[in-house]
Amino acid sequence: MTSLLLFGASEGGLFDFDATLPLMAVQVVLLTFILNTLFFKPVGKVVEEREGYVLSSLAEAKKKLVQVEQLESDLKNQLKEARQAAQSVINEAEVDSENLYKEALALATSEANSSREEARLEIDSQKESALNQLKFDADKLGELIVDRLLTSK
């Protein structure tokens, strides 16, 4: 130290080169080694594990998303087919009900016509019977009138 003082440097100055600088350098290297082994490596390992977990989870999530999208499209297709099948069933039911309605209407019309025809025939027979009875009664009454007129003379 005394040799440095001869060159005009004062003690504790900016460029004081004693054993403190190498000691500080050794302390920094030792502290870096200790921190690296005790703190940074385990933390780095945990960070790498988490990064691997996140990447694997992300890849798995992408696979599942693709599966979900595929299932969604399959379900949409199934729903579309089911709607088309339901519409065809509805159309068939409408056609069947229309046909049943027409058949029932035709049957009812034919029954009504036959019933009307039977009633007309019965009325005609009753009318004929009544006319025959009336003719018979008129003839009898006419004979009775003629007999009374002839007997009174």
What is the model's pLDDT at position 5? 47
What is the model's pLDDT at position 15? 61
Q: Which residue matches tokens 């302390």?
A: 27
What is the model's pLDDT at position 23? 85
What is the model's pLDDT at position 44? 86
Q: Which residue matches tokens 């039911």?
A: 93
Asked if residues 96 and 88 have their Cβ atoms less than 8 Å apart, the reply is: no
Instruction: Point out the residues of the chain with pLDDT beneath 50.
Output: 1-2, 4-7, 9
Q: Which residue matches tokens 């009900």?
A: 97
Nearest residue to 113 (alpha-carbon basis) of 125, 102, 105: 105
| Model pTM score | 0.46
Q: How many residues does the chain have?
A: 153
What is the model's pLDDT at position 1? 45
Q: Which helix (H) or strand (E) holds 93?
A: helix 41-152
Which two tokens mark 36? Answer: 């690296």
